[in-house]
Structure 1
Amino acid sequence: MPNPLIQPYLMFGGRCEEALEFYRTALGAQIEMLMRFQESPDPTPPGMLPPGFENKVMHASFRIGDNVLMASDGCEEGQQFKGFSLSIAVATEAEADRYFSALSDGGQVQMPLAKTFWSSRFGMLTDRFGISWMINVVANECTG
Structure 2
Amino acid sequence: MQAITTYFNFMGNTEEAMNFYKSVFGGEFTSFARFGDTPGSENMPAHERNKIMNISLTTKSGAILMATDFLESMEQRLQLGNNIHLVINADSEEEVDSLFKVLSAGGKIEMPVNKTFWGAYFGMCEDKFGIKWMLNYAYPQNK
Separation (CA, whole Å) in 1 of partners of 2:45 and 2:93? 44
Question: Unmatched 5+ residue regions in structure 2?
Answer: none
Offset of residue 29 of structure 1: 4.3
Counting matched residue pairs gives: 137
1:43 maps to which of 36, 40, 45: 40
Offset of residue 79 of structure 1: 3.1
Superposed, 1:1-144 pairs within 5 Å as 6-40=4-38, 42-44=39-41, 46=43, 52-64=47-59, 65-76=61-72, 79-82=78-81, 83-140=83-140
Separation (CA, whole Å) in 2 of partners of 1:8 and 1:78? 19
Secondary structure of residue in 2 paired with 1:21 = helix
Separation (CA, whole Å) in 2 of partners of 1:124 and 1:70? 21
Go from structure 1 to structure 2 and tell me whether the alpha carbon gap of 1:111 and 1:58 turns closer, same or farther (over 3 Å shift).
same
Identity %: 36
Amino acid at match of 1:62: L
Question: Unmatched 5+ residue regions in structure 1?
Answer: none
Go from structure 1 to structure 2 and tell me whether the alpha carbon gap of 1:106 and 1:39 turns closer, same or farther (over 3 Å shift).
same
| CA deviations over 1:15-72 (Å, ceiling 9, x no partner) | 00100111111222421111011111x21494xx665111011100112322112101
Further displaced range: 70-79 or 19-28: 70-79
Question: 2:121·2:139 contact (CA, 8 Å) conserved in 1?
Answer: no
The alignment's TM-score, normalised by the length of structure 2, stands at 0.83
> Hey, which of these two has a bigger chunk of helix by percent?
2
Amino acid at match of 1:73: D
